[in-house]
Chains A and B, each alone.
Chain A
């Protein structure tokens, strides 16, 4: 019997840190694997990507030079869509569900996309239970957000979502995931400032979700993540073409790759999926009915993991009820 597959659209331009985000999520699970019953396993192509990314991220903390990230040059940097598959289950048992994270290249979501490409993205968005929006925090926080539009494409992202969700009647989860947050999470005050800026910069999108027709169906969370840890943003320098170069630096000779807070998106995702399962008799979730076949051992293990207290740096902007298990 095929296990239920949950689609999640990753919406963000190349280089913003989508692969790194998934890698960080996976790496975090590896770190805490001993403490929980549930498992997460990438399928083979996904694993290759993750390992490739991991090698690059780990090398970041081994260099003695500034780490310069040019806009648009990502870990993967491909021009084709890519599907990341993770199987989740209970330790020692067969997988219980499959997570399908779909990444589209920048070209597919911007103006130059063909109608077919655009339709495919919208179709996938509609079918997805969740949208994961990685946001490069440095582009928002540095130079008063001068490069936010260029790096994060918030307008494009907003337009796409608006287009996809215009007739939405069933619940969805939106995860705004600021990444590269190391510099902005030194203390509570700076974290708060980051959260305020995120809401400010995505005001249009958040207002759209809060419209009366959508409000009751959509949960919106913000989960700031330190995708590397031990690497801090140093400076932003325009190159000779005026393109921004974001320069980072590791925090010490012994500093290691150590992502922080990256379990949180998955926690919310599981909460949402479990909630849908709980509400499976409700007509409003019928859209996902075929997916809601979750075996009891996994449900229990997943609930136990997802119910752990949320990281205090995360924020639920709306739709608490869809996360209440």
Chain B
């Protein structure tokens, strides 16, 4: 297998981790708003309850802290995910200015000082860029992203204002164009000259704004030819004159053929030399770099004459170690490069390189220390890049594993932090001060409830069953009305007072349809559909009995079983409310109430199949009563007669069919009540479900025994619902992103 295949395999194994992280992010995204609701509910309860104990306990809850932990983790997850989404192995160099970093990157990438500037003339690299291998051609170009006005102000300018204590940062570019506030005296007099340097950098942004302003908000990314790249990445042009376009650049990806790299799946992340930015926040720079690379090269160019490890060398490593080693010890993914030079004027540093190599301080721990001439492309490739790639190919999956395990532990910790807070929120809160023998009392009341439930539902069923032949009088009445309406409103042509006669109308229809047979068919269709339409009105009557049964069951629960405090809903809405109120774990009970709540007889399902056969006589084909007449006058009369006769017959048959099913709504009501009874009484383990449910709701059902004030009952319910939702969302499973 080639190195490329190895790297491909690494990238492929990383992808599922990235996908799992998406899921964890989504779950955290769900928990956050619930915690937010809890915080709001907490304030509401604290503001209204008289119960000091409750207030004390609520005040002990720190939801904002949980929220900020979640937000932090979301941000970190975002970074972690980047690592697993990368399509290349990335390498980054950390070095103080003037150590030959740019030179090394040029050796790696084959780019020139044009694209990776170095600076004998001061700080050079203007912005961070990532250099990707061009796998398809030999072209070199850059994709350049520009800041928008907003991102420029918040990401670039605002940090200066904050660090330099300049007051509130400008909100618009025009604000920034106004004169800069002066550096406060305390900072002018500070022994650390850094503040003054920073202020100079800010002034530079301010002074030259007109020169780069036009680029802010430009379409991004923009493809730039090789010759243009320098303009957007360097602080000086090739002649050494300062340029300012880079100030508008947010990000730059350079794509070029890495002429002699061991793999074309290796990208290189360039960054400003530490000290290049003006803001001087090494920590942030190193952190960003670390999040974007798989391996870090610390780089040091020994002095040809005399050199030793300096405090700033150790500090740089310490900073990196502090910000990057949370999940993976830096010593497992960093190298130290000692840059050997052989300058015709300054002389070579070979001796000092060896000295430094042998005296590396304890504090600096890396995989390996490499002496190599970074300006020499071959040496850079063979001495540096090849061993590093080899190491990565061999180790990176192990490192990834270590990385995610470490991060998973952090996530698990977050899970348990949320859990602890939720437990604090539920335990003890709203608890009745103290009831002696509470469990015994509950058991006694529960058994009484159970007896009432079983006896009561039996009674409901018996009542319904006692008149099994009973017709639904409301439905019967509605059937009568509908039949009457269908008889009166037929769509059969009739004589208009002072207007056309029925026969004239039929005559017109015959003319329209060209012949009497077609007119007859048209009337049959018209009258049939008109008749069917009347029966749609039966839907309401059809469900009256079932609605009554639901209302009766609701009344039973509310009045006889004291469920009135569980919900404000009454009648059949109570049944629906119960179905929603019951937690998902109470499967049988929830289903029982759901089935009852959703049960409905439908016109289409029950009535239509009975009506359709009755309308056969009104179908044009086959004709039940043929027309037969040959003379138009006869045909007209025949059509009128036939329509009347067939319509009368159809109604008669519909009426019979409907009368045959007058008992069905009552039967259906009986059936659903029996089914409900089965579901909530006879199903296996359903008694346990009731016990657990009532245990939770006991304060509302047995108010005298377990209840508190009215407000508290409502709050308690809302609070418990929120906690329950939060607890469900906070399931440990939802936090796992390693398989």
Contact = CB atoms under 8 A, between A and B. Distances in A.
B675 interface: no
B360 interface: no
A178 B518 CA distance: 38
B652 A251 contact: no
Q: Is the interface of B mostly helix, strand, loop or mixed?
A: helix
A193 interface: no
B649 A234 contact: yes
Interface string B238-275: 00000000000000000000000000000000000000
Given A143-B656, A234-B652, A235-B651, A65 B626 contact: no
Interface stretch (B19-27, B67-75, B633-641, B703-711): B633-641
A53 B636 CA distance: 30
B656 A64 contact: no
A65 B648 CA distance: 12
A144 B657 CA distance: 11
A237 B660 CA distance: 17
Contacts of A249: 625, 645, 649
A235 B649 contact: yes
A65 B627 CA distance: 15
Residue of A143, A236, A237, A249 with most chain B CB atoms under a 10 A cut-off: A249
Contact of B645 (A66, A236, A237): A66
Residue of A65, A142, A236, A252 with most chain B CB atoms under a 10 A cut-off: A252
Interface string B639-659: 001001100110111001001
Contacts of B644: 66
B655 to A, nearest CB: 9
Nearest to A233: B649
Contact of B652 (A64, A144, A235, A254): A235
Nearest to A65: B641
A32 interface: no
A157 interface: no
B632 to A, nearest CB: 13
Interface in A22-67: 64-66
A294 interface: no
Interface string A233-246: 01111000000000
Contact of A254 (B624, B628, B645): B628
B608 interface: no
Given A64-B638, A64-B641, A143-B656, A253 B628 contact: yes
Nearest to B642: A249
Contacts of A254: 628
A195 interface: no
Contacts of B305: none
A228 to B, nearest CB: 15
Nearest to B644: A66
Contact of B648 (A66, A142, A143, A250): A66
B641 A234 contact: no
Nearest to A143: B656
A247 interface: yes
Contact of B628 (A66, A144, A252): A252
B649 A252 contact: no
A251 B617 CA distance: 11
B621 to A, nearest CB: 15
B638 A236 contact: no
Nearest to A234: B649
A247 B637 contact: no
A251 B627 CA distance: 9
Residue of B638, B649, B660 with most chain A CB atoms under a 10 A cut-off: B649
Nearest to A247: B648
Nearest to B628: A253
Contacts of A251: 624-626
A35 B673 CA distance: 68
B629 interface: yes
Contact of B627 (A235, A236, A253): A253
B650 to A, nearest CB: 9
A322 to B, nearest CB: 39
Contacts of A65: 641
Nearest to B629: A253
Contacts of B624: 251
A252 B656 CA distance: 25
Contacts of B638: 64, 253
A252 B653 CA distance: 20
Contacts of A66: 644-645, 648
Interface in B600-621: none
A177 to B, nearest CB: 25
Nearest to B487: A237
A252 B623 CA distance: 10
A64 B652 CA distance: 20
Contact of B637 (A64, A142, A234, A236): A64
B628 A234 contact: no
A234 B648 contact: yes
Contacts of A142: 656
A65 B659 CA distance: 27
B603 to A, nearest CB: 23
A252 B648 contact: no
Contacts of B637: 64
B636 to A, nearest CB: 11
Interface string A205-244: 0000000000000000000000000000011110000000
Nearest to B656: A143
B111 to A, nearest CB: 93
B626 A252 contact: yes
Residue of A66, A234, A249 with most chain B CB atoms under a 10 A cut-off: A234
Contacts of B629: 253
Interface string A80-99: 00000000000000000000
A253 B636 CA distance: 12
B654 to A, nearest CB: 10
A251 to B, nearest CB: 6
Nearest to B627: A253
A253 B648 contact: no
B641 A236 contact: no
Interface in B213-258: none
Contacts of B649: 234-235, 249
Nearest to B623: A252
A250 B628 CA distance: 12
Contacts of A247: 648
A194 to B, nearest CB: 16
A251 B623 CA distance: 10
Interface in A251-291: 251-254
Nearest to A63: B641
B613 to A, nearest CB: 12
Contacts of A237: 652
A254 B653 CA distance: 26
A253 B634 contact: yes
B640 to A, nearest CB: 9
Contacts of A64: 637-638, 641
Contacts of B627: 252-253
Given A249-B625, A251-B625, A253-B627, A235 B634 contact: no
A237 B645 CA distance: 13
A102 B75 CA distance: 108
Interface of B: 624-629, 634, 637-638, 641, 644-645, 648-649, 651-653, 656, 659-660
- The list of the 6 closest CB pairs from A to B, nearest first, reads A235-B652, A253-B628, A234-B649, A249-B645, A252-B626, A252-B628
6 contacts: A235-B652, A237-B652, A249-B645, A251-B624, A252-B627, A253-B626
Given A235-B649, A252-B626, A253-B627, 4 more contacts: A236-B652, A251-B624, A251-B626, A254-B628
